[in-house]
Amino acid sequence: MKIADLYTRSGLTLSVEFFAPKTDKGDENLLSEIEIIKQVNPGYCSVTYGAGGSTRDKTVDMVGRIHRQCGLEVMGHLTVVGQSKAEARAVLDAFKQRGIVNLLALGGDPPQGMTDWRPHPDGFHYAAELVREAVARGGFSIAVAGFPEVHPRAVSRASDLGYLKEKVEAGADAIITQLFFDNDDYYRYVEDVRRLGVKVPIVPGVLPILSASQVRRFTALCQAKIPPQLDAVLAKVEQDDAAAVEAGIDYATRQCEGLIKFGVPGLHFYSLNKSYSLRAICKNLGL
């Protein structure tokens, strides 16, 4: 089912993001975690495209396997960075051949070890161009990324919102947000996006914390802030990952309660290929 249709159903659409493992063992672990995650009845799941396009074949292979073996609706991520237009088109074709109709069209993170973002000489420069390409090829329902705290490379909040609108006008059916830990940032973002006349679902991205050091690393990478209420939680679990997982479940549960009350169309979980926190959060929420 296309995501455009999933978000028109009544009720909350849960989606779960995985990264494409690098090894066969990682693949098998992920497929067993997915069997557990299926119990929370996600509307769809998605598989990331490694930084700089580094997991092209792995991503294509894994979306195909999840679709075929697990019977779950899948969305393939595709980024424009680090590859030519011809290579990006080949991935769109490979998704299609595997029956994948949902696409998350992205600019992409630079390859590991590189900090500045440079377009491929023969590649697309921005996600909006990939949206246009996928629309022209036909058959895809497309989501794009949104940044409640403003994308780190954006010149201004206004320009970032303007380019988001361009992606939707190009044909995107939904916006999935970067992780955030202060719901007010999401609420303000939704208000700003709606003010521009953009009407597609804006799905909040939620990260269940697995360790204090990891969340500090992630937030530094994507320049998301750690609000004081989360900082206080992390300070108590700095050296204790098991306690951090439980604190993360508690924090994400409270975050999701607020988001559901606000009326979000869905929740997109950055699962890091783990089922434990996700199941606990869904149980807490009665989902």
Catalytic residues: 17
> Least separation, in Å, of the C-beta of 153 and ligand FAD?
4
Judged by DSSP in three states, 236 sits in helix
What DSSP state is assigned to residue 46? Answer: E
Select 56 or 247, whichever has its Cβ closest to ligand FAD: 56
Amino acid identity, position 210: L
> Least separation, in Å, of the C-beta of 77 and ligand FAD?
4
φ/ψ of 106, rounded to 5, equals -135, 155
Residue of minimal CB distance from ligand FAD? 107
Is 128:106 a contact under the CB 8 Å cutoff? no
- List the one residue out of 3, 85, 17, 98 whose CA is nearest residue 57: 98
Select 145 or 234, whichever has its Cβ closest to ligand FAD: 145
Is 176:146 a contact under the CB 8 Å cutoff? yes
Q: How far apart are CA 157 and CA 159, in angstroms?
A: 6
> Least separation, in Å, of the C-beta of 36 and ligand FAD?
22
Strand ranges for the chain from DSSP E:
13-18, 44-47, 74-79, 102-106, 141-146, 174-179, 202-206, 266-270
Select 150 or 247, whichever has its Cβ closest to ligand FAD: 150
Token reading at 271: 């699962």
Select 13 or 177, whichever has its Cβ closest to ligand FAD: 177
> Least separation, in Å, of the C-beta of 55 and ligand FAD?
8
Region label for 212, one of left (φ > 0), alpha (ψ between -120 and 50) or beta (otherwise): alpha
Select 144 or 247, whichever has its Cβ closest to ligand FAD: 144
Per CB under 6 A, residues contacting ligand FAD are 48-49, 51, 77, 79, 104, 106-109, 126-128, 144-145, 151, 153-154, 159-160, 163, 167, 176-178, 205
Decide: residue 115, CB within 10 A, 0-12 exposed, 13-18 middle, 19+ buried. Answer: exposed
> Least separation, in Å, of the C-beta of 190 and ligand FAD?
15
